[in-house]
Amino acid sequence: MQFIDLQAQYQELKSNIDRRIQTVLNHGKYILGPEVQELEEALNQYVNVEHTITCANGTDALQLALMTMDIGPGDIVFCPTFTFFASAEVISLVGATPVFVDVDSQTFNLCPEALEKSIVNVLTSSKLKPKAIISVDLFGLPADYPKLKKIAKQYDLKIIEDSAQGFGGKIDGQLAGSFGDIATTSFFPAKPLGCYGDGGAVFTNNEDYANILKSLRVHGKGQDKYDNIRIGLNSRLDTIQAAVLLEKLKVFPAELARKEAIANQYSTLFGDAMVTPYIPKGYQSAWAQFTVKTTQRDKFIKKLNLAGIPAMIYYQTCMHQQQAFDNKVVINNAFPVAELLAQQVMSLPMHAYLKDQDIENIAEILISS
Ligand SMILES: *Cc1c(COP(=O)(O)O)cnc(C)c1O
């Protein structure tokens, strides 16, 4: 059994994907070819935003967002401590200072109360200037944007929504990728919408941001490619990857519906044997991961592995515990929730091609413990 079965998906979509790739090979426009623009328009429609700017990967997408907002040395960016390294890495990469914040014990997303405390703490004790919040839609669940937006407004902060895992998630019907002043996603193969290599995108409704982003992804270009008006990156999505994504986007809603059914089946079968994911009212997860909490993690993983079933730990190390951030952090918050999660979380196989029988087998192994 695969943790995320990309082969099963490819077998389903093979003829369409192969045809799309062949079209690119025939026209030969490998960089910013017509499929890239077609994908950006399709993503505008799907996410319901005005501008999609595709780029090379989800980490660049975050860096591009920070560069667009002119965030750098002397600035503070708040970020959950329980996330993938890239969400925090980019803050230091552009020379700004990360301030890590604890997460909510039920949703695992940025805790609004802890965030506000941390902002007040920074304002009273640091000369650095708070500029933005990188909110992460962890494991597929959008963060608490109704509350985060209020806080951002009150303290004049921008929101960068890291939706690398949240693409396809919703709050009251509104899609992830549309909540931040700028939102980002990743098309890394194992993400909810993945291509066959690296890829990413930035979403915004702000036209000025969109123009800067389009310049930044091509070496800070001006009117033409050899007229450079700012320092940028080389960060484009390959045309072949856009072609793959166009085909995958067509089946994406059906895949989400299947994953929703799998999540419900898991939760029903597990009963009280572990703490299953909490989805607040009005929210929908993109089910990037199905992550449970348990005090018997080691035992569970051993039993699953013995049966040939993969289980993963996302994440064992919080950002405030990463050596890379030693001496780069100015405010030390407390992180009791995140530290406990790091000890108790376990992610189970989750993809749209999982069979009912697989789910029953996993539940049987875990419950018979
Ligand atoms: C995967 C991921 C990223 C980075 O995306 P890449 O395409 O791998 O660079 C950023 N943030 C989160 C939360 C992720 O899961």
- Say yes or no to pLDDT of 7 above 80: yes
**Ligand 1: residue whose CA is nearest its atom 2:** 164
Residue-level pLDDT at 225: 79
Instruction: Name the more confident of 224 and 9.
Output: 9
Q: How far is the CA of 164 from the centre of ligand 1 (A)?
A: 5
Q: How far is the CA of 58 from the centre of ligand 1 (A)?
A: 5
Q: How far is the CA of 110 from the centre of ligand 1 (A)?
A: 16
Q: Which atom of ligand 1 is closest in space to residue 288's alpha carbon?
A: 15
Q: How far is the CA of 104 from the centre of ligand 1 (A)?
A: 20
Q: What is the mean pLDDT of the chain?
A: 96
Q: How far is the CA of 185 from the centre of ligand 1 (A)?
A: 7
Residue-level pLDDT at 29: 98
**pLDDT digits 0-9 by tens, 21-76:** 999 999 999 999 999 999 999 999 999 999 999 999 999 999 999 999 999 999 99
**Which protein residues touch ligand 1 with a CB less than 6 Å away?**
57-59, 83-84, 86-87, 136, 162, 164-165, 186, 188, 198, 200
Phi-psi region for residue 139, left (φ > 0), alpha (ψ -120 to 50) or beta?
left
Note the pTM of the prediction, 2 decimals.
0.98
| Two tokens, residue 282 | 């009005």
Residue range 133-151: mean pLDDT, rounded: 98
- Say yes or no to pLDDT of 116 above 70: yes
**pLDDT digits 0-9 by tens, 149-180:** 999 999 999 999 999 999 999 999 999 999 99
Q: How far is the CA of 96 from the centre of ligand 1 (A)?
A: 19
Q: Which atom of ligand 1 is closest in space to residue 198's alpha carbon?
A: 7
Q: How far is the CA of 357 from the centre of ligand 1 (A)?
A: 31
- Say yes or no to pLDDT of 351 above 90: yes
Cα–Cα distance, 143 to 49 (Å, whole number):
18
**Ligand 1: residue whose CA is nearest its atom 7:** 58
Residue 65 is classified by DSSP as H
Residue range 143-152: mean pLDDT, rounded: 98
Cα–Cα distance, 269 to 7 (Å, whole number):
27
Q: To the nearest 5 percent, what fractions of the chain are helix, strand and coil?
A: 45, 15, 40
Residue-level pLDDT at 328: 80
Q: Which atom of ligand 1 is closest in space to residue 83's alpha carbon?
A: 13
Strands 158-162 and 290-293 come out as unpaired
Lowest-pLDDT range, 100-104, 125-129, 286-290, 336-340? 125-129
Residue 49 is classified by DSSP as -
- Say yes or no to pLDDT of 145 above 90: yes
Q: Which atom of ligand 1 is closest in space to residue 186's alpha carbon?
A: 7
Q: How far is the CA of 84 from the centre of ligand 1 (A)?
A: 7
Task: Say whether the peptide bond before residue 315 is cis (omega within 30 degrees of 0).
Answer: yes
User: Residue 117 CB: number of other CB atoms within 10 A?
Assistant: 15
Q: How far is the CA of 368 from the centre of ligand 1 (A)?
A: 35
* Ligand 1 site-directed mutation target among 162, 289, 291, 347, most atoms within 8 Å of CB: 162
**pLDDT digits 0-9 by tens, 308-341:** 999 999 999 999 999 999 988 777 789 999 999 9
Residue-level pLDDT at 369: 61
- Say yes or no to pLDDT of 253 above 70: yes
Residue-level pLDDT at 260: 98
Cα–Cα distance, 365 to 304 (Å, whole number):
7
**Ligand 1: residue whose CA is nearest its atom 1:** 164
Which candidate, 185, 258, 199, 306, places its Cα nearest to that of 5?
A: 258
Which candidate, 160, 156, 198, places its Cα nearest to that of 80?
A: 160
Q: Which atom of ligand 1 is closest in space to residue 86's alpha carbon?
A: 10
Residue with tokens 């690296």: 198
**pLDDT digits 0-9 by tens, 200-251:** 999 999 999 999 999 999 999 998 878 999 999 999 999 999 999 999 999 9
| Two tokens, residue 6 | 């990309």
**Ligand 1: residue whose CA is nearest its atom 5:** 58
Q: Which atom of ligand 1 is closest in space to residue 62's alpha carbon?
A: 10
- Say yes or no to pLDDT of 186 above 90: yes
Burial class, 344, CB count within 10 angstroms (exposed 0-12 / middle 13-18 / buried 19+): middle
**What is the percentage of the chain residues whose pLDDT exceeds 70?**
99
**pLDDT digits 0-9 by tens, 283-311:** 999 999 999 999 999 999 999 999 999 99
